[in-house]
Amino acid sequence: MPPTIYVETSIPSFYFDTRRAAAIQARRNWTREWWKSIGTAQELVNAPPVIAELRRTPSPKRDQMLEFMEPIRRLEAKPKIDAIIAFYLTNKLMPKEASEDAAHLAFASFYACGWLLTWNCRHLANGNKIGHIRVVNRRLGLETLN
């Protein structure tokens, strides 16, 4: 069975990005190429924090992103996830102002997703944080995703 992939908010955001900066266009193109290549070989999931963030985006991009994410299975919020988020913040895994990023990691970890797909290199795809994430997740009895 292929690994489950948690699709974080930055993926649909870059998929529909219209800015002209070369780095932004490159991320948009890589995102679209990856999206085309996955087909049905991967199970994609998202969670309520993804949808909440997308709903705060101005139209028409908001509507495009929400429609784009509609076919992807949404993970269910559970009280245990709130406790994981709080533990992440208490243990300084992420600053309090990045609580939504902590929520993405908590959902992906709680549901044992194999991968967290993101362009967020500050808090989620940050190689300097992976050791800390492993330690904190181990304390919680959670696997650390890729």
Cβ neighbours of residue 136 closer than 8 Å, sequence gap 6 or more: 87, 88, 91, 93
Q: Identify which has the larger pLDDT, 66 or 143.
A: 66
pLDDT the model gives residue 21: 97
In one-letter notation, the amino acid at residue 138 is R
Q: Identify which has the larger pLDDT, 95 or 41.
A: 95
CA angle at 17 for the pair 57 and 105, rounded to the nearest 5°: 65
DSSP, residue by residue, 60-128: THHHHHHHHHTTSEEPPP-HHHHHHHHHHHHTTSS-GGGHHHHHHHHHHHHTT-SEEE---TTTTS-TT
pLDDT the model gives residue 24: 96
Q: Is the dihedral of CA 76, 10, 36, 143 positive or negative?
A: negative
pLDDT tens track for 99-133: 999 999 999 999 999 999 999 988 899 888 999 99
pLDDT tens track for 42-94: 899 999 999 999 999 999 999 999 999 999 999 999 999 999 999 999 999 99
pLDDT the model gives residue 4: 93
CATH number of 4-140: 3.40.50.1010
Average pLDDT over residues 22-27: 96
The candidate with the shortest Cα–Cα distance to 55, out of 64, 43, 44, is 64
pLDDT the model gives residue 40: 58
Question: Per-residue confidence at 2, pLDDT binned at 50, 70, 90?
Answer: confident
Instruction: Give the C-alpha distances (Å, rounded to integers) separating 52 from 46, 47, 55, 56.
Output: 11, 9, 5, 7
pLDDT the model gives residue 90: 96
